[in-house]
């Protein structure tokens, strides 16, 4: 049974990544901290062949800077998927924090090197926290 379950997860690396992210955050996020004002996004990136190292350098630099200078950001975390797929899990305390995301010159300057590595435009999808 365990081997069967493991092989099913290997064919769904994004699912495994999301489950791992959630499990790693459980100690940090409790239902009591959940806010209906919070907004989230999942950005999906398709990176050009042979551009993975440049993308990873650019995305980690961007994530570090966002967490330093954007006070309304709860989480801005890059993840690697299968092949040349990457994801950014984004959490903001509210819509205003999301709207002010990437408005500073020092953050906006970091998007250029990132965009140069992409095979297609990023797919950014909104998600909502489920609060009791």
pLDDT tens digit string along 35-60? Answer: 888 999 999 999 999 999 999 999 99
Answer whether residue 1 shows pLDDT above 60: no
Whether 66 and 73 have beta carbons less than 8 Å apart is answered as yes
Q: Is the CB of residue 88 less than 8 Å from the CB of residue 76?
A: yes
Point out which residues pair with 127 in neighbouring strands. 40
Q: How far is the C-alpha of 125 from the C-alpha of 84, rounded, in Å?
A: 19
Q: Quick: pLDDT tens for 80-105.
A: 999 999 999 999 999 999 999 989 89
Looking at residue 21, its pLDDT comes to 61
What was the pLDDT predicted at 36? 84
User: Which residues are CB-contacts of 20 (< 8 A; sequence separation ≥ 6)?
Assistant: none
């Amino acid at each position: 049974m365990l081997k069967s379950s493991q092989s099913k997860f290997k064919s769904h690396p994004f699912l495994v990544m999301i489950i791992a992210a959630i499990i790693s955050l459980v100690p940090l996020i409790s239902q009591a901290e959940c806010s209906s004002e919070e907004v989230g996004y999942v950005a999906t990136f398709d990176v050009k062949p042979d551009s993975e190292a440049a993308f990873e350098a650019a995305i980690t630099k961007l994530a570090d800077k966002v967490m330093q200078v954007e006070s309304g950001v709860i989480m801005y975390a890059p993840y690697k998927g299968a092949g040349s797929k990457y994801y950014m899990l984004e959490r903001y305390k509210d819509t205003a924090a999301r709207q002010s995301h990437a408005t500073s010159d020092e953050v906006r300057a970091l998007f250029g090197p990132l965009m140069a590595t992409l095979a297609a435009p990023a797919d950014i999808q909104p998600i909502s926290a489920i609060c009791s």
